[in-house]
Chains A and B, each alone.
Chain A
Amino acid sequence: MRAFDYAAAATVDDALKLARPGSAFLAGGTTLVDLMKLDVLTPDRVIDVNSLPLKGIRLHAGALRIGALERMSDVAAHPVVTAVHPMISRALLLSASWQLRNMASIGGNLLQRTRCDYFRDVTSACNKRRPGSGCPALTGVNRGHAILGTSDSCVATHASDVAVAFVALEAQVVVRGKDGDRTIPLDDFYRLPGSTPERENALAPGELVAEVVVPTLPWARHSTYLKIRDRQSYEFALTSVAAAVDLKRGVVQDVRLAAGGVGTKPWRLRAVEEALKGGVAMERTFADAAESAVDGARPLAHNAFKTSLLKRSIVRALLDAAGVR
């Protein structure tokens, strides 16, 4: 690990003042410390933000508001979260391990870096880590990589589970900088890689994630988060689907769908949602609608299975969320 200055910030203002090019904010450390050990991240100043008052989980003005420093385990177990948006709790509990959930913050979870092995290996080229150096995953081992939202520069997936649930629920992220707060829909917060995969989100240098705001949506209590992976626990998703269905007399009134493990960012499935509206909630309807999930998909040598796996995962998640199994 490279040497760095350590500073513990007592207030948000302090944290923002301490930030400078080359510095990093430290919350749970489960991404930052890991990637610093690998020399993937080499901040020369680490600003500990764990004492900042970016905490609390509450219902306010028709939205669930989660402080960025709340830990994954605390959010998952919080009675307001399980009552209002059980999908969030389920996505969190299917993530990482109990120890990591006790450490990792919600803000940090949203900002976690990809698990692409080429990104994590400093001896490899990687456009995300060293812009312009190339992407070995395009022709290398790419079984875990994305099929949606990819570019010739990058095919890395976004690794978060809860971000998939947040995107399905149209959550917003509040970011705080020297010039005040900005509120950004999470779906817009994440950027597609394009030719600049090193820029993953809308955070400006020195800005902090302060809060996640999730609008309440009463029918979204009928929801699920389905996660398919190589082992049943403590593993990242091959595919995952966040689904919530509003049914009246067996007909889909409204629906929210997003997928993980397949996109370069948490992937909202709007075309599938549109195809489902007004349809009778049954397996055939779900399977027909799921076809459009992979429009524009660009499978690679080892991950073509994700196109069928994604479609089947959507069907299963919808059956579960609609309770028509």
Chain B
Amino acid sequence: MTTSRRQFFGRAAAVSAGVALTSPLEEAVAAPENDSGVVEVAFKVNGERRKLGVDPRVTLLDALRERLQLTGTKKGCDRGQCGACTVHVDDRRVLSCLTLAVTVQGKEVTTIEGIADGGELHSVQRAFIENDGFQCGFCTSGQIMSAVKVVEEREVRTDDQIREAMSGNICRCGAYPNILAAIKQVKES
């Protein structure tokens, strides 16, 4: 029987989420090279309190995806150059790939999974759909997490200002005109 990567990490997390490292599978993912130990970190994700034991090397991006199964946040470059991993920490957009998970102790993290209101999509999500603001979709959750903040920024008004404010999110399909249209639609409504 074949096991997908997603299932592999999913099982590992099922036994380890909320407690210190316990699973041999999990150790394969995040075990330290020496016995410098696991650090407890407690934070809120999408309004829910979570507690993890993490190797201090683990980024917020990997903690979200591999430990908390919030795979909507994408790993693009993993070097802070593409914006695919954009999330909100204490209401500011940041790059989760350059954020060590241990540093979000006590903070509130919002991911793409947390911006809809129940079954009602966020207005930016709706506008991306209505304007075809994506093709392959890999950068889209990061684009939307940035766009949610851009629509709140009052001094960002013109097309050029929106492009500049969104320049940290790269789209290799080139959906930029439609992303811009989606953001303008929400700003104008």
Chain B residues whose C-beta falls within 8 Å of the C-beta of A99 in the assembled complex? 83, 86, 93-95, 146, 168
Q: Is the CB of B100 within 8 A of A33?
A: yes
A103-B103 CB under 8 A given contacts A5-B36, A33-B59, A46-B56: no
Nearest A residue to B150 by beta-carbon distance?
A: A98
A308 to B2, CA, bound (A): 61
Nearest B residue to A74 by beta-carbon distance?
A: B92
Chain B residues whose C-beta falls within 8 Å of the C-beta of A4 in the assembled complex? 36, 56-57
Chain B residues whose C-beta falls within 8 Å of the C-beta of A233 in the assembled complex? 163-164, 167
Q: Is the CB of B78 within 8 A of A97?
A: no
A5 to B56, CA, bound (A): 7
Q: Is the CB of A102 within 8 A of B83?
A: no
Q: Mark A172-201, 1 if CB is under 8 A from B, else 0.
A: 000000000000000000000000000000
A324 at the interface (CB under 8 A from B): no
Q: Is the CB of B168 within 8 A of A29?
A: no
Q: How many Cβ-Cβ contacts under 8 Å join chain A to chain B?
A: 79
Question: Within A1-16, which residues are at the interface with B (CB < 8 Å)?
Answer: 1-6, 8
**Min CB distance, A269 to chain B, in Å?**
28
**Min CB distance, B34 to chain A, in Å?**
5
Q: Is the CB of B168 within 8 A of A37?
A: no
Q: Is the CB of A37 within 8 A of B79?
A: yes
A234-B36 CB under 8 A given contacts A100-B95, A102-B92: no
Q: Is the CB of B34 within 8 A of A3?
A: yes
A280 to B113, CA, bound (A): 60
Q: Mark B134-174, 1 if CB is under 8 A from A, else 0.
A: 00000000000010010000000000000111011100000
Chain B residues whose C-beta falls within 8 Å of the C-beta of A170 in the assembled complex? none
Q: Is the CB of B98 within 8 A of A29?
A: yes
Chain B residues whose C-beta falls within 8 Å of the C-beta of A234 in the assembled complex? 167-168
Nearest B residue to A48 by beta-carbon distance?
A: B103
Q: Is the CB of B98 within 8 A of A103?
A: yes
Chain B residues whose C-beta falls within 8 Å of the C-beta of A26 in the assembled complex? 100, 103
A2 to B34, CA, bound (A): 10
Question: Within A63-110, which residues are at the interface with B (CB < 8 Å)?
Answer: 73, 96-100, 102-103
A102 to B92, CA, bound (A): 7
Q: Is the CB of B105 within 8 A of A30?
A: no
A6 to B57, CA, bound (A): 9
B127 at the interface (CB under 8 A from A): no
Chain B residues whose C-beta falls within 8 Å of the C-beta of A1 in the assembled complex? 57
B10 at the interface (CB under 8 A from A): no
User: Which of these, A6, A33, A96, A103, contacts B39 with CB under 8 Å?
Assistant: A6
A151 at the interface (CB under 8 A from B): no
Q: Is the CB of B33 within 8 A of A34?
A: no
Chain A residues whose C-beta falls within 8 Å of the C-beta of B57 in the assembled complex? 1, 3-4
Q: Is the CB of B99 within 8 A of A34?
A: no
Q: Is the CB of A102 within 8 A of B167?
A: no
Interface centre among A2, A3, A8 (most CB of B within 10 A): A3
B76 at the interface (CB under 8 A from A): no
Chain B residues whose C-beta falls within 8 Å of the C-beta of A30 in the assembled complex? 80, 95, 98
**Min CB distance, B73 to chain A, in Å?**
13
Chain B residues whose C-beta falls within 8 Å of the C-beta of A8 in the assembled complex? 102-103, 105
18 extra interface residue pairs, beta carbon distance < 8 Å, beyond A3-B57, A103-B94: A3-B32, A3-B33, A3-B55, A4-B36, A29-B98, A29-B99, A30-B80, A37-B78, A37-B79, A38-B79, A48-B102, A48-B103, A96-B168, A97-B83, A98-B168, A102-B92, A102-B94, A103-B95
Binding site for B on A (CB under 8 A): 1-6, 8, 26, 29-30, 33-34, 37-38, 46, 48, 50, 73, 96-100, 102-103, 233-234
Binding site for A on B (CB under 8 A): 32-34, 36, 39, 55-57, 59, 78-80, 83, 86, 92-95, 98-100, 102-103, 105, 146, 149, 163-165, 167-169
Q: What are 5 A-B contacts defined by CB distance under 8 Å?
A: A4-B36, A26-B103, A34-B80, A103-B99, A234-B167
For the complex of A and B, list the 10 residue pairs with the smallest distance between their C-beta atoms, beginning with the closest.
A97-B168, A6-B56, A233-B167, A234-B167, A3-B33, A102-B92, A3-B32, A1-B57, A33-B98, A99-B168
